[in-house]
Amino acid sequence: DIVMTQTPLSLSVTPGQPASISCKSSQSLLHSDGKTYLYWYLQKPGQPPQLLIYEVSNRFSGVPDRFSGSGSGTDFTLKISRVEAEDVGVYYCMQSIQLPYTFGQGTKLEIK
C-alpha cells in the first residue's frame, strides 16, 4: 500500500493568517497518463469529508480560491492563504494512483 504521511498533525491559526499542510507519499503519484493522483479533503466537525483539491492543484467546484495545492511526485502541499473560522476541521490527503486508495492521518486545524 502507498503510505501517505501528513505534517503537522495539528495546527492553530489566527484568522486571516496563512496555513500550510504537507503530505508525502511513499511512492510517486505521477501516472504514465501524465496526471498526478493526489487529492485534498476537509472534514468539518460532524460532517463527511468534502473534496477540496483534485489532481494536486485543481480546486473542486465551489471551493474558495484561498485554498491552493501544489507539489509533484511524492511531495505535496495544501495552502490556505487567509484562514477563516469556517476552515476548521481535519484535512486529509489521499492517493488514487494505486489500489487500495489510501489517506493521510489527517491534520486538525483549529482557530486561535
Positions touching another protein (CB under 8 A) are 1, 37, 39, 41, 47-51, 54-55, 58, 60, 92, 94, 96, 99-106
In angstroms, give the least distance from the CB of 65 to another protein: 18
In angstroms, give the least distance from the CB of 84 to another protein: 22
DSSP letter at 91 equals E
In angstroms, give the least distance from the CB of 50 to another protein: 7
- On whether the CB atoms of residues 53 and 71 are closer than 8 A, the answer is no
Q: What share of the chain is helix, strand, coil (3-state, %, to 5)?
A: 5, 50, 45
| C-alpha torsion angle, residues 107, 66, 44, 28 (rounded to 10) | -40
In angstroms, give the least distance from the CB of 14 to another protein: 26
The set of cell numbers assigned to 22 is 504537507
